[in-house]
Amino acid sequence: MLYADAYKTANTIRASLAPHCDRIEIAGSIRRKCEKCNDVEIICIPKDRAGVSKICNEWTKIKGDLLIGRYTRREVCINGVGTFVDIFTATHTNWGLIYAMRTGNTSFSHKILASGWVKHGYHSISGMLHNGRNFVLTPEERDVFKIAGVEWTEPEERDDLTYITTWGDM
């Protein structure tokens, strides 16, 4: 899909889920404003998991179930066009980690953020960062960047790794 179409579709999906969420945002290639987007990625903190699940169950299930898990992939048909949508749930304590990782791109998430937090003694366990003693709260993306020792990078710049520097290298 072209960005404009993907953004419009993502906003329609977001609007249908929003009444059941404390927080909900578009992530992935749409958030990075890529010219072409393969699918829609939505991150949410459900306030009514059953309500979110009910909406999702109106769409064709590919995999996952939000009543028992943290992820589902659905095919949604809007204006006669089928689109794959990945919906990830987070909590107020791990929103930043999930949002950063799902905004991507894959190289940025793994080679920059994950490598950075591992270098600083953290590991990801079940959607949370752990420092070897405790789980660490990441309520915002900037918390993840700080833990990873990575300078804040706007989503649309995360595809071009030439602009990425870590604080330790500056």
The domains of the chain, with CATH numbers, are 3-89 (3.30.460.10), 103-169 (3.30.210.10)
**pLDDT tens for the 170 residues of the chain, in order:** 999 999 999 999 999 999 999 999 999 999 999 999 999 999 999 999 999 999 999 999 999 999 888 999 999 998 888 999 999 999 999 999 999 999 999 999 999 999 999 999 999 999 999 999 999 999 999 999 999 999 999 999 998 665 455 444 44
Nearest in space to 70 (alpha carbons), one of 38, 96, 42: 42
Q: State the pairing for strand pair 60-63/123-125.
A: unpaired
| Per-residue pLDDT at 161 | 62
Q: How many CB atoms lie within 10 A of CB 78?
A: 16
- Cα of first residue to Cα of last residue in the chain, in angstroms, is 38
Matching residue, tokens 């306030």 = 47
Matching residue, tokens 């600083």 = 120
Q: State the pairing for strand pair 135-136/128-130.
A: antiparallel
The torsion angles phi and psi of 70, rounded to 5 degrees, stand at: -110, 10
Nearest in space to 102 (alpha carbons), one of 144, 149, 66: 144
| Per-residue pLDDT at 68 | 87
| Per-residue pLDDT at 67 | 85
| Per-residue pLDDT at 160 | 65
Matching residue, tokens 């079940």 = 126
Q: State the DSSP code for 78.
A: E
The torsion angles phi and psi of 94, rounded to 5 degrees, stand at: -125, 10
Distance of CA 74 to CAs 59, 61, 150, Å?
6, 5, 33
